Chains A and B, each alone.
Chain A
């Protein structure tokens, strides 16, 4: 059992603002928890507090029911993989792997067994005598992972471990990490600013912004049910399209209807939207939910948006089309064979059930029925 609980955890440097602001996080045993956010959001500071490399200004950190606020890093039974790998340059790969075990007075035969096992699993067997300077980036990263593995800790921490790798190697190492998580079944906390890493690796994601937790949930749940405009824009590439328009009442209920933009709002009850009547509201729709062919948007009620295409970005598998509309820019992810040219007037349709609404002032999502994908993701996340 390696449950990590952060209870109103805070970090403050001097009298400045909180770098980490009352973070509540319950990480389950064996979970792969990803802390995701832009640089400066406090994710690495949070991780370093868990590691014991930063002091905790306020709140409680407990591992397996034991409060460890004042326990030294070396006594927390935690291993960490750093962004820079942090391999000791004057030691060979084998010595790097064994360094932590020697300190813990593990007997020589056991050290040899664990080093050999980790080296075999990570394909480092032939590199044990080499110095880190003679290794490639991917090999160094595997050594860093091996150094954590041989310790057999209660919790693994990863601080953006793939950032220094090239794109192809990043995919391989990502898969390697997922494999090792399945094999070890250990609790892992992983910090990244890369949403693809978060989506593909995490059991759950904790999105952070400005030192606070913006949302915690299963990757697809967070993607399809963003808690606020920050999460909606941060997850997804291209980010969710957001427009601000007045909410109007119609004979069939509330809708947004502003020039070339029309959106029936079917996910929300009249009572939920009543406070926003005749006020501005933020509307969101994901790029992949916009279609040239209205039929592709589904059978139910549809919304539409019209604009002039000004940028066409063919990506091979698909094409991104950026429209200029009176409400702002709007990006659509369309099929690769799309024939839109810059300057063309384009009509896009979307399923009314794919729409999102956010409070203009707070940015918080206005609760409604779940989207179909959100409901599916939530169900999977709870399994």
Chain B
């Protein structure tokens, strides 16, 4: 110890005070942020097992008793099973097509030199810049013209067109970083372009693909504006519009809205848990070697 003091060096056994403060401060910030983000969710969860009357009396009270039947009422009596199925059909279909077509397009833009390559890229990029709402009226008209208005297929196509540019943009950036030598090696090993895409690009690009997959899934699962404009039939509603049905002009059934939101949030959480590791790898790709 004396020797360390004499040399002006740190005692390796002791934790320096500034570092302790830094760690404490970091824990404080993370804790505060967790409460800030988790708080509303827990509040919503508590409201989902309380009736609207109980909520009106005390917004923040602990549920007593737990009204689990609210979930049954939402699922069975309020048609949430249908909304859930509609949402699943539209979103899974759109995400699947967006992922496959987006990955193929991104691969083509990243790897092949052809005339107009950068022009296509610029057009795709420009469509990301503009807010999608400006296309709403023209999309409505197109769907009416093609008898796709008020149909799940029409909504799926709209969702595909909404998410495809960003997906291509994100994946192109990732795919362009896959070394050319891997493609050349696969060619020498006897593989053609489609096989190389399937056996090399897709597996290597999986972190990026998972990232776009989950981002698209969350965004479309929660999408309200296009669904509310393009779907009017109650049997074809998606979950966000279904939840909206609990809101009247004069009365809002907060308890049932909370139960509906809890039902709708489950797939998002499941998707996130399933893909979270790949999502993080995709987001930090290139940051660390």
Contact = CB atoms under 8 A, between A and B. Distances in A.
Interface of A: 48, 51-53, 72-74, 78-80, 82-90, 99-100, 103-104, 147, 151
Given A73-B187, A103-B190, 17 more contacts: A53-B187, A72-B187, A73-B184, A74-B188, A74-B189, A74-B191, A82-B184, A84-B179, A84-B181, A86-B184, A88-B182, A88-B204, A90-B206, A100-B189, A103-B191, A147-B185, A151-B189
Contacts of A83: 181
B200 interface: yes
Contacts, number: 57
Nearest to A81: B185
B203 A90 contact: yes
Interface in B17-72: none
Contacts of B195: 103
Sorting the interface of chain B by its residue count into under 10, 10 to 19, 20 to 34 or 35 or more gives 10 to 19
B190 A86 contact: no
A147 B204 CA distance: 19
Contacts of B188: 51, 53, 73-74, 78-80, 100
A103 B189 contact: yes
A82 B182 CA distance: 9
A189 to B, nearest CB: 13
Contacts of A151: 189
B185 A80 contact: yes
| B contact face: mostly helix, strand, loop, or mixed | helix
Given A74-B190, A99-B189, A100-B189, A53 B184 contact: yes
Contacts of A48: 184
A86 B187 contact: no
A78 B189 CA distance: 9
Contacts of A88: 182, 185-186, 200, 204
Contacts of B189: 74, 99-100, 103, 147, 151
A151 to B, nearest CB: 8
B184 A74 contact: no
23 contacts: A52-B187, A53-B187, A73-B184, A73-B187, A73-B188, A74-B188, A78-B188, A80-B188, A82-B184, A83-B181, A86-B179, A86-B181, A86-B182, A86-B184, A86-B185, A88-B182, A89-B204, A90-B203, A90-B204, A99-B186, A103-B191, A147-B185, A147-B189
Contacts of B179: 84, 86
B237 to A, nearest CB: 41
Contacts of B200: 88
A62 B182 CA distance: 26
